[in-house]
Amino acid sequence: MPETARPEPHTPNSLGFNKKPQDTRVVVAMSGGVDSSVVAALLHEEGYDVVGVTLQLYDYSAALAKKGACCAGQDIYDARRVAETRGFPHYVLDYESNFRQEVIDDFAESYIRGETPIPCVRCNQTVKFRDLMKVAQDLKADCLATGHYIRRCAGVGGMHAEMHRAVDDGKDQSYFLFATTPEQLEFLRFPLGGWSKAETRRHAENLGLINAEKPDSQDICFVPGGDYAKVVRKLRPEAQKPGEIVHVDGRVLGRHEGILGYTIGQRKGLGIGGGHTDDNAPFYVVALDPAQNQVIVGPKESLARNILHIKDCNWLDDATGTDSGVTVELKFRSTMKPVAATVTRTGPGTATITLKDAQYGIAPGQAAVCYHGTRLIGGGWIAATDNAALPLAA
């Protein structure tokens, strides 16, 4: 009998699958910006079975102007034109209700609780990854690709995939993706993590994309002009409740028109004037007390914090999620340089982070994101802060 022909083995393609690009279906999340457009166009050029998907999300600024939804205009048009020009299918999905509930309402409630929310993390955590990933799986895709600047690396010895900071520090988006679960990371791909923004622009020009010179968005998509308080006042009118501005020593220094107009670490625009100290030193917002409707202010040293209590933790490194006293580098703002810290697990989904040196302006509601070198190992949401030497819980 003739010998049965053996199937021709395949080496991994550029997305890590052991099959030809044309046999690999990739759903690309297309926002209408240049980054995701380049991802979709280049993968299609490589021969992948590309399907572009754009989510129509609720845009508060558009709602104010009664113009409809975010991405209903130029962004959807740009994404659709890229797909049409390059020759791959493109779909627009109405996710306004999901976005309103998961991101915008959470944003408003967080401010009312006296927190400093990060809606971009919530959006990635819910609508973009959880919901869009299900769409990709329903479309029988092998993976979901995005235009985020972050590197996904194969785990050592066949272990789970790892997430690393982007090569371009100025564009790195790892902080906003800390809540990505190990299961999601197995399905996700980030082709731009090894590029600079300039490289992406060059590829967009070479591909002749209509949005090659489209500027990056600088604001949260539903916050017009960065005026967060205006958004919250519109969504929750009851939040604009006057109250007292109180010094950390208990003195009442003035009045405010609603705590949502203040953030931890704020120095300017407090509305209390000078003359409250002998040297007329500036005051900073140290804490917000929604229960008493008070803004607590004090000197800069009263902002110092070296202990963070975090909740809703997500770990991409097994040791950090189970062991105590794990040394990490920590970021509590996306643009800051990581600082030395130690993570101690305190319960299911909770942990305490002890900073080597006290830091300033840490606020509940922010994300505490941990790294080992360039590797993102996870983090959690800051629920409260303390100073071990001067216990001033925020």
HEC letters along 145-170: ECCCCEEEECCHHHCCCEEEECCCCC
**Can you tell me whether residue 328 is helix, strand or coil?**
strand
Q: Which band of pLDDT confidence, cut at 50, 70 and 90, is reported for residue 58?
A: low
Which one is predicted more confidently, 80 or 65?
Answer: 80
My answer on whether 48 and 108 are in the same domain is yes
Alpha-helical segments (H) within 246-359: 318-322
Other beta carbons within 10 angstroms of residue 105's beta carbon come to 13
What domain count does the chain have?
Answer: 3
CATH code of the domain containing 254: 2.30.30.280
Output DSSP code: residue 76: H
Single residue among 302, 331, 355 that ends a domain in this structure: 302
> Which residue type, as a one-letter code, is found at position 373?
G
My answer on whether 201 and 250 are in the same domain is no
CA distance 197 to 373: 22
Please state the rounded mean pLDDT for residues 324-352: 93
- Longest CA–CA span in the chain (Å) reads 101
| Helix (DSSP H) and strand (DSSP E) numbers for the chain | 11, 17
My answer on whether 184 and 265 are in the same domain is no
Condensed to tens digits (0 to 9), the pLDDT of residues 285-312 reads: 999 999 999 999 999 999 999 999 999 9
Q: Is the pLDDT of residue 394 over 50?
A: no
Q: What is the pLDDT of residue 69?
A: 45
Please indicate, yes or no, if residue 392 is contained in any of the structural domains.
no
For the annotated catalytic residues, the residue numbers are 123, 221
Q: What is the pLDDT of residue 8?
A: 54
Q: Is the pLDDT of residue 60 over 50?
A: no
Condensed to tens digits (0 to 9), the pLDDT of residues 222-242 reads: 776 777 778 888 888 877 889
My answer on whether 220 and 88 are in the same domain is yes
Instruction: Write out the residue range of the structural domain in which residue 286 sits.
Output: 241-302
CATH code of the domain containing 130: 3.40.50.620
Q: Is the pLDDT of residue 1 over 50?
A: no
Single residue among 302, 317, 342 that ends a domain in this structure: 302
Q: What is the pLDDT of residue 219?
A: 66
Q: Are strands 294-298 and 243-247 parallel, antiparallel or unpaired?
A: parallel
Q: What is the pLDDT of residue 391?
A: 47
Please state the rounded mean pLDDT for residues 122-148: 93
Q: What is the pLDDT of residue 232?
A: 84
My answer on whether 259 and 321 are in the same domain is no
My answer on whether 267 and 130 are in the same domain is no
Other beta carbons within 10 angstroms of residue 274's beta carbon come to 9
My answer on whether 297 and 317 are in the same domain is no
